[in-house]
Amino acid sequence: MIVRYTSSSVGPYDELAYIPGKFDTPDGKKHWRTTNIYVSSEDSVYNGRLHWNIPKHLAIFSFTPLSEKSKTIRIEVSMPSSVASSTKNPPFFTALCTPFRYIPSFPFNTKYIPFFDVMFTQPPLPGSPSSYSEVGTKEWKTITADLKGKATFTRMKPAGGEGLEEGELADGIHFPKIKPLFGIHLKGMDMELLAAIETTNDKNEGFKL
């Protein structure tokens, strides 16, 4: 999932997230989980980890139209350079995103889609001694999100780059080598995250973490 937030509690920022599926949780149920996520704001790293157990890491984002009239966008995500080095790191994720022609947009709202579950349960996070923003947490947390906007279908193709294998979107180290069939672009997306709830195994004492 790639998101460009124009506003948030920590200001605008970009995001690349990997949500592989649902996992067992302490309440005995299966919920969605974000297992890796990169953002362009250090405040977002700190806030997301502390309040929601979202495993955020800082990265550098680039969104470049192929030409003035082109609707195709080249997306690059790379790790920040170290303080001691001025060398720019090669991107670990690149993609060319193009909207499908002749397919009209349609309204999208998770509140009105039957059986559409947008509940995430995130495990405690280890902290990083080398980054003040990568704080650790001790409790499981459950988050519910609502999404709405105008949706269109898009095509996502590998853009290539140094260190990336031909035909791959990502390097398989910082981000998995995914192969999406198509994408959905939510224009003017409005996302609401409800306050995180600490999750315990009170209802299922036999659950093993």
pLDDT per residue over 88-122, tens digit each?
899 999 999 998 888 888 888 888 876 677 889 99
Answer whether residue 14 is part of any domain. Answer: yes
pLDDT band, very low/low/confident/very high, at 67 (cuts 50, 70, 90):
confident
Per-residue pLDDT reduced to its tens digit, 7-58 = 988 999 999 999 999 999 998 999 999 999 999 999 999 999 999 999 999 9
The answer to whether residue 89 sits within a structural domain is yes
Q: Please give the average per-residue pLDDT across 68-96, as a whole number.
A: 87
The domain in which residue 159 lies consists of 2-199
Residue 204 included in any domain: no
pLDDT at residue number 138: 94
Tokens, residue 105: 């947009």
Within the chain, strands assigned E span 2-5, 13-18, 21-24, 30-33, 36-39, 56-58, 60-65, 73-78, 93-99, 106-109, 119-122, 140-157, 183-193, 197-199
Q: 118 in a domain, yes or no? A: yes
Residue 205 lies in a domain: no
Does 136 score more than 50 pLDDT? Answer: yes
Q: Report yes or no on 179 lying in a domain.
A: yes
What does the pLDDT look like over 151-184, one tens digit per residue? Answer: 889 999 999 888 899 899 999 999 999 988 888 8
Residue 35, in any domain of the structure:
yes
* 49 sits in which H/E element: helix 42-52
H or E element at residue 44: helix 42-52
The answer to whether residue 60 is domain-embedded is: yes
Number of domains the chain is built from = 1
Cα(24)–Cα(45) distance, rounded to whole angstroms? Answer: 25
